[in-house]
Chain A
Amino acid sequence: MAHDIERADLALMLEAVQRSVFTRFTLRVNGTHVNASRLRATEAVDGTEVIQVTAPRVGLFHPDVAAGTEVDADTDIGSIESYRKTVPVKAGRAGKIVSLRVPGGSFVEYGQPLARLRVASAGGDP
């Protein structure tokens, strides 16, 4: 019983998966089996993958990139100013910014799409 999984923990794990780069999640604890796949925030355009970069916090979005900017996974595409706290918005994947979804200075919710990013194909140019 001590190693059973709590609902709250499972929900937190699934949320973490949703925010991660992983698309599938399998968990086996004692008699509990969980199979989950991430909701896809991607679109297929010309066989390439386009993802949404979403707001990591609620606040004002200040972009540092424009359509066409090439980014690495850890590039800051901008920041969110959340009253006294400012956090960077990481691209998350390497690729090229297709478009910004909201104008600079906009108030955005947590999880709101901020930019579309065409993911670089493995080993090649986007």
Chain B
Amino acid sequence: MMKFRRVLVANRGEIAVRVIRACKALGLETVVTLSEADRDTLAASMADRTVCIGPSRSTDSYLDIDAIIATALGTQCDALHPGYGFLSEKAELAEACAQAGIVFIGPRAETIRNLGNKIRARALAIAAGVPVVPGRNDVANHDAARAVADEIGLPILLKAAAGGGGRGMQVVRNLESLRTAFETATAEAAAAFNDGTLYIERFIPNARHVEVQVLGDRHGNVIHLGERDCTLQRRHQKVIEEGPATRVAPDIVARMRQAAIDLARGVNYENAGTVEFIFDQDRGEFFFLEVNTRIQVEHPVTEALTGVDLVVQQIRIAAGEPLPMRQEDVRIQGHAIECRINAEAAFENFRPSPGTISAWSAPHGEGIRVDSHCFSGYVVPPFYDSMIAKLIVVGADRTDCLRRTRTALRAFRIDGVTTTLDFLRLLVDRPEFAEGNVNTRWIEAVMAEPGFTDAHAAQQEETNDQR
């Protein structure tokens, strides 16, 4: 018997729809928060109740903690699901929920805070015996920089210890250029942060991004549900995700999964989480990147492979239930690929393309899942993330899955707004993708090719011929 009766879905778009579905499956009532721009959404029509919490601008609605807690209290919700993005990884929201007597469907505020801080997360990973990218954060002079370079090996990345972002970042590939790079980076760090101290870490030019899905409950049980390979990214935004990680040696995958469990266990992790790793394809080594303390966009990949409904599990865990399976009960079968479809003009530097969807025809059939909040006639508002759908395709193995993905992408038709469908079709047709011969910078390399836009024109003609 469920401890909750009514859940506040504090998000929008496809994840609001996804969470409402999970609540319905559990027999829970739902209230969904809306901004002024989202009054006529699919989530609004599915929820038992909607509450407009503020204007379209997300700082005045989806990011307003007081408005959200007031709504949960005013509608007598027992629990709150934050979705992803917006406030999902803000410890302040989890804390405010606890103070207001509302169950936050996610990890404890303390866990979110500790893992959300890069330095503390790194320390927690080290404490759990999880490998981190070799580096030092206290490099104050050239001799020290030289010593670090000798210790961790080239190439290395130099950046300000005091600040984040790309400011003052220098890549050093040979020792001859170390002094110049050191002086430049120190000067830039001193100018920007009043502190010339540098952080130096190994630079990994040929990397894959692999992440392990974990679930932990209040009773000390922690399991993993396999991994997802999210190497295909553009500006740190994932584009295509898949699982399992077929291009990483099985013994390394096994160690990654164990590392994720060790880290989660080390912090008494409760609810769903993802431990992200960077895999150095040249050296065959992996390192901890960060933990995402929320449900992720790409969670359906794991659901397709394991048959576990992760959002339902999140709710059950938050209600205090123990995990319904042990590690040995988890079966990972087949191969799954997820493509993120955005309302963006990919061939015009990914310019956002909001507007009215005049026609919407999603592929369907065995092994195909489309998670979306869109429909024919829906107006994509200009205020939020531009993702309009996720296409998840499962196959017996990677080759089968890739073939089905190509077919499904071709069958997907969205008119009225410009989408990234053609761009995705182009990527999945590339031999490097089929071979798995890619890294985290591959998409940018494809885009830099002289024939990039011509290839698009050719593909459009082909698509037109087929119609």
Contacts and interface: CB of A to CB of B under 8 A. Distances in A.
Interface of A: 6-8, 11-12, 15, 57-60, 81-85, 107, 109-112
B354 A58 contact: no
Contacts of A8: 354, 382-383
Contacts of B56: 11-12, 15
24 contacts: A7-B382, A8-B382, A8-B383, A11-B56, A11-B381, A12-B56, A15-B36, A15-B56, A58-B70, A58-B71, A59-B66, A59-B70, A59-B74, A60-B74, A81-B70, A82-B70, A83-B65, A83-B70, A84-B69, A85-B66, A109-B51, A109-B52, A110-B53, A112-B52
Nearest to A59: B70
A83 B53 contact: no
Contacts of B61: 110
B55 A83 contact: no
For the side of the interface on B, what is the size category? Answer: 20 to 34
B40 to A, nearest CB: 15
Contacts of B52: 58, 109-112
B66 A82 contact: yes
Contact of B36 (A59, A60, A110): A110
Interface in B204-232: none
Contacts of B53: 58, 109-110
Contacts of A60: 70, 74
B383 A82 contact: no
Interface in B324-346: none
B242 to A, nearest CB: 33
Nearest to A81: B70
B173 interface: no
Contacts of A85: 66
Nearest to A85: B66
Contacts of A107: 70, 74-75
Nearest to B72: A83
A11 B382 contact: yes
B37 interface: yes
Nearest to A107: B74
A11 B69 contact: no
B67 A82 contact: yes
Contacts of B100: 83
Contacts of B73: 83
Interface of B: 36-37, 51-57, 61, 65-67, 69-71, 73-75, 96, 100, 354, 381-383
B100 to A, nearest CB: 7
A60 B69 CA distance: 12
Nearest to A14: B56
Nearest 8 A-B pairs (CB), nearest first?
A107-B74, A8-B382, A83-B66, A83-B69, A59-B70, A82-B70, A85-B66, A7-B382
B101 to A, nearest CB: 12
A7 B382 CA distance: 7
B165 to A, nearest CB: 24
A110 B54 CA distance: 5
Contacts of A110: 36, 52-55, 61, 67
Nearest to A112: B52
Q: In this complex, which of A6, A11, A81, A85 has the most chain B Cβ atoms within 10 angstroms of its Cβ? A: A11
A7 B69 CA distance: 31
Contact of B37 (A6, A11, A58): A11
Contacts of B51: 58, 109
B67 A15 contact: no
A99 B343 CA distance: 45
A83 to B, nearest CB: 4
Contacts of A11: 37, 56, 381-383
Nearest to A82: B70
A85 B65 CA distance: 10
A57 B67 CA distance: 7
Contacts of B382: 6-8, 11
Contacts of B70: 57-60, 81-83, 107
A8 B75 CA distance: 31
Nearest to B381: A11
A12 B55 CA distance: 9
A7 B354 contact: yes
A58 B65 CA distance: 11
Contact of B67 (A6, A12, A58): A58
Given A7-B382, A83-B65, 19 more contacts: A8-B354, A8-B382, A8-B383, A15-B36, A57-B54, A57-B70, A58-B51, A58-B52, A58-B54, A58-B70, A59-B66, A59-B74, A83-B67, A83-B70, A83-B100, A107-B70, A107-B74, A110-B55, A110-B67
A81 B67 CA distance: 9
A46 B177 CA distance: 84
Given A8-B383, A83-B96, A111-B36, A58 B55 contact: no
B43 to A, nearest CB: 16
Nearest to A12: B57
A8 B57 CA distance: 9
A81 B73 CA distance: 11
